[in-house]
A and B are shown apart, each in its own frame.
Chain A
Amino acid sequence: MNVLVSPEDKTGTQRKEREVLLDLENVSLSFGGVKAITNISFDIQRGEIRAIIGPNGAGKTSMLNVINGFYQPQQGRITFNGKTRRAMKPHLAVSQGIARTFQNVALFKGMSTLDNIMAGRATRMHRNMFWQILYYGPARAEEIEHRKKVEEIIDFLEIQHIRRTPVGKLPYGLQKRVELARALAMEPELLLLDEPMAGMNLEEKEDMSRFILDVNDQLGTTIALIEHDMGVVMDLSDRVVVLDYGRKIADGAPEEVQNNQEVIDAYLGVSH
């Protein structure tokens, strides 16, 4: 039995009364004269799947980088879990429970799947290097605890068969799954996925979609994802925010966004 899974009779009723997990207010980010993000506000509610879409160069990845503190916006405020800051810092983001995956897989290619995922637990290990090298007493007990957690994730994402395989030898679709596993190893409250389906075939996309839904549903993780496959976005997400040239042009349920004229123009182009 999967210990990650909460008791079976838990219903989905708590969905309706949601609180805001992350709130961005009037965030602007520029690099020299280039405005990557202009005065954007939106929020992510606890427990939802929030999609960020937009044409190339719209500022989607910059947005994620602002959320996890990699970029420092010049203006605006970020409220995460009730704490308001000018800007997020990467170490804060991690310790507060924000994890992410990258557009182009960023794993340690020479290490096994297992070690890569264990690396995701690094921030949660408390013993210092001396104890870890000694691998004795509390350090060992701690590592065993972490390994248990990692094994649950391996079971959850069904990657038992590649546990000992160096990541570099894996096909792309599986590497993406390992990256997701590493992000999950941090037990995040908010999971940022940057194009989780990029370069996948249909079957791999279906698998990944199922895993994203399972993560959201069973682990209760809030998810923000950037994705270009509109079918995936429309099926998975609860709410969608649309960016174009660093501005927010729409925000709402998938079907609302889909019918928004400005969004259609942004994607298809419009004659001036």
Chain B
Amino acid sequence: MAEPPVTGGDTFPKILFHNARVYGQRPAVREKEFGIWQTWTWADVLEEVRALSLGLKQLGCVAGDKVAVIGANRPQLYWSMVAVQALGGVPVPLYADSIADEMAYVLNHAEARFAVVEDQEQVDKVLEISGELNQLQHILYDDPKGLRDYDKKRLSSIAHVQEIGRQILASDPTVAQAWKQDAEQVEGGDVAVMLYTSGTTGRPKGVMLTYDNLVISARNANDFDHLNETEDVLAYLPMAWVGDHVFSLAQAYCAGYCVNCPESLETVLTDRKEIAPTYFFAPPRVFEGLLTHVMVRMEDASKTKKKMFDYFLRVADRVGERILNGEKVSLKDRLLYAIGEFCVFGPLKNQMGFSRIKVAYTAGEAIGPEIFRFYRSMGINLKQLYGQTESAVYITSQPDGEIYPDTVGRPFKDVEIKIAENGEVLYRSPGSFKAYFKNEEATTSTKDAEGWVKTGDAGIFLENGHLKIIDRAKDVGKLTDGAMFAPKYLENKLKFFPNIKEAVAFGHEKDFVAVFINIDLIAVGNWAERNNISYASYQELAANPRVYEMIQSHVEQVNRDLAQEPMMSGSQISRFLVLHKELDPDDGELTRTQKVRRSFIAERYAPLIEALYDGSTHKHVVTQVSFEDGRIGSIEADVEIRDVQTFPATHAGAYQEAAE
């Protein structure tokens, strides 16, 4: 089963020497170009990296230099990172879609002397800001299209730089050995890469990760999921993101598996189908999008197919996950599932590019339990993990067979976790970053002297030993009776109902929890049509008593769920109202990325919050709204407020009694 972990050094250049020797003829990188998957073996990659590295050296790149890497996932850009590392330099991948101003800040802050970019678009962007860049000396590009008439004084193609490197190699036979010796001088404790976190507040911070951080984490991860040199991954997430760096570089080098670069961002779906990765990562929205896509397509399928699909989906829903977890399932169900696999799940997985999947991960935000269960019931080993840039990804992860949709798993190998007084999750691990680049203040406030790093997230350990992330630590409050109040956790639970589009929970330093709810006009409107409820506007539909009943049943369902959770049973929702208007970024209630601006809403709807807590059942409000053309109007409404049933804490009580 599990192969012994690949040894071969503590830095990526050293691991590359090892891989070229051990896996020399195995594929290391594929890129689809001109409609065909082009392959480079590990031996080829060593040759490419060496040529590029020597060329860069000739251009003046020396140990300690920072080299920016900007673009989509191209093999050449991955090589450039290792080529720089072999010279003792530090690659700094940047988000290709960041705006010029942000790019200028990062390039200057990182003191980048070189930039390796993908194509004309990125060259233009860097040239545009080059006036502000004091350190930048030379730009290398991959795709020469459109760059023919550019001034080549400070601009060379990667191929050209590699050619220089090859000429040097050819002219002097001792160069290769000398280069290798220099590369081996770099050690595990040195900084391997600098990743800028996109930070929601303030300027981005440069997270310095050492080779040890990355290599140890990557080897642990490969062990954990039994990944070896036969895996295939698709590199399609931004290179500047720690996840891609770990999945497509660190783990790939450590296990010796093959990284596949899609033809372009638009072709990822087709490319994934062709490659059928065995190890795959995607944020929840990708899995959601795929599922919606499948369901919509199935609506158009013929009746027989649709019936078959629905039938076997029910079978999968009933037994699929238990089969995946290796539990006991009756022979009849196993047989049915096997037929389903042949007729429905197999072809479906093939379409989605999941036919060879060994393990898939999702992380970043909460995934809807139905969506999560759907993929698992298909036989796809989808799991959740929890991590961040500062930890070289892995903090917790779900072991095979211990999958709960609402947790992020157990602490990862070699990772210690503790929950701080205020509920914040702290960790100490071999992956914890060295420091923020040129930002002593942020470093000391995030990482203490003993190495504990603050995640900024609040979480709890369940009795099964799994960590559950509930909210951003700064948003977590307390009710007056001392129960923990995590607004986003409640809101997410509510938002998993298709009828609820947005929810805002209140409760910090109050006696009980109360929520504002926005109904989803499409879902509820559809329901209204089917039930012969006529309505003229969002406002009218929102105030409909039958809609209130429906929402009330959803809220009570959430309370029922909460009652079973030891830490959360105290923060059940006591009262709710359905807002008379949709929360809107134009009114400043949501951010442009559709996140709730809690404090702003609290201020704007102060009278409604007051009504939630003074026991009244109706409240008349007038709210200003801005229309899309900039005019300002007002909405007047009589908003109903309802009480909701709460439930005694079943699980927690029983658990505590048992403990006593």
Instruction: Decide: A214 and B144 in contact? CB cutoff 8 A.
Output: no
| Contacting residues, chain B, for A2 (C-beta < 8 A) | 143-145
Who on chain A is nearest to B266 by CB? Answer: A161
Question: Can you sample 21 A-B contacts with CB below 8 Å?
Answer: A1-B157, A2-B145, A5-B148, A6-B148, A8-B152, A11-B149, A12-B148, A12-B149, A148-B34, A151-B36, A155-B33, A160-B264, A160-B267, A161-B263, A161-B264, A161-B267, A163-B35, A164-B270, A214-B146, A217-B146, A217-B148
Instruction: Decide: A8 and B266 in contact? CB cutoff 8 A.
Output: no
| Contacting residues, chain A, for B35 (C-beta < 8 A) | 147, 151, 154, 160, 163
Instruction: Decide: B147 and A8 in contact? CB cutoff 8 A.
Output: yes
Instruction: Decide: A218 and B148 in contact? CB cutoff 8 A.
Output: yes
Instruction: Decide: A152 and B34 in contact? CB cutoff 8 A.
Output: yes
Min CB gap B386→A, angstroms: 33
Please tell me if A109 contacts chain B, counting CB pairs below 8 Å.
Answer: no
* Known A-B contacts A1-B143, A160-B264, A161-B264; A9 and B34 likewise in contact (beta carbons under 8 Å): no
Q: DSSP majority for the B interface? A: loop
| Contacting residues, chain A, for B34 (C-beta < 8 A) | 148, 151-152, 154-155
Complex Cα gap A161–B272 (Å): 13
Please tell me if A18 contacts chain B, counting CB pairs below 8 Å.
Answer: no
Residue positions of B touching A, CB distance < 8 A: 33-36, 142-149, 152, 157, 159-160, 263-264, 266-267, 270
Instruction: Decide: B267 and A8 in contact? CB cutoff 8 A.
Output: no
| Contacting residues, chain B, for A6 (C-beta < 8 A) | 148
Who on chain A is nearest to B146 by CB? Answer: A214
Residue positions of A touching B, CB distance < 8 A: 1-2, 5-6, 8-12, 147-148, 151-152, 154-156, 158, 160-161, 163-164, 210, 214, 217-218
A-B contact count (CB 8 A): 56
Min CB gap A114→B, angstroms: 8
Q: Which of B142, B145, B147 contacts A156 (CB 8 A)?
A: B145
Instruction: Decide: A10 and B148 in contact? CB cutoff 8 A.
Output: yes
Who on chain B is nearest to A151 by CB? Answer: B34
Who on chain A is nearest to B145 by CB? Answer: A2
Chain B CB within 10 Å, residue with most, of A10, A154, A161: A161
Who on chain B is nearest to A158 by CB? Answer: B264
* Known A-B contacts A151-B35, A161-B264; A210 and B144 likewise in contact (beta carbons under 8 Å): no
Min CB gap A160→B, angstroms: 5
| Contacting residues, chain A, for B36 (C-beta < 8 A) | 151
Instruction: Decide: A217 and B264 in contact? CB cutoff 8 A.
Output: no
| Contacting residues, chain A, for B267 (C-beta < 8 A) | 160-161
Min CB gap A144→B, angstroms: 10
| Contacting residues, chain B, for A218 (C-beta < 8 A) | 145-146, 148
Complex Cα gap A8–B142 (Å): 12
Instruction: Decide: B148 and A160 in contact? CB cutoff 8 A.
Output: no
Chain B CB within 10 Å, residue with most, of A2, A156, A210: A2
Instruction: Decide: A210 and B146 in contact? CB cutoff 8 A.
Output: yes
Instruction: Decide: B266 and A5 in contact? CB cutoff 8 A.
Output: no
Complex Cα gap A5–B150 (Å): 14
Instruction: Decide: A9 and B145 in contact? CB cutoff 8 A.
Output: no
Instruction: Decide: A8 and B148 in contact? CB cutoff 8 A.
Output: yes
Complex Cα gap A10–B264 (Å): 28
Complex Cα gap A227–B224 (Å): 62
Q: Which of A1, A155, A160, A164 contacts B159 (CB 8 A)?
A: A1
Who on chain B is nearest to A164 by CB? Answer: B270
Complex Cα gap A155–B143 (Å): 11
| Contacting residues, chain B, for A5 (C-beta < 8 A) | 144-145, 148
* Known A-B contacts A210-B146, A214-B146; A8 and B157 likewise in contact (beta carbons under 8 Å): yes
| Contacting residues, chain A, for B159 (C-beta < 8 A) | 1
Min CB gap A263→B, angstroms: 30
Complex Cα gap A11–B144 (Å): 14
Chain A CB within 10 Å, residue with most, of B33, B35, B152, B263: B35
Complex Cα gap A210–B270 (Å): 27
Chain A CB within 10 Å, residue with most, of B142, B145, B157: B145
Complex Cα gap A155–B267 (Å): 12
Extra contacts besides A5-B148, A12-B149 (4): CB < 8 Å: A1-B142, A2-B145, A151-B34, A152-B34
Who on chain A is nearest to B159 by CB? Answer: A1
Min CB gap B120→A, angstroms: 9
| Contacting residues, chain A, for B264 (C-beta < 8 A) | 158, 160-161
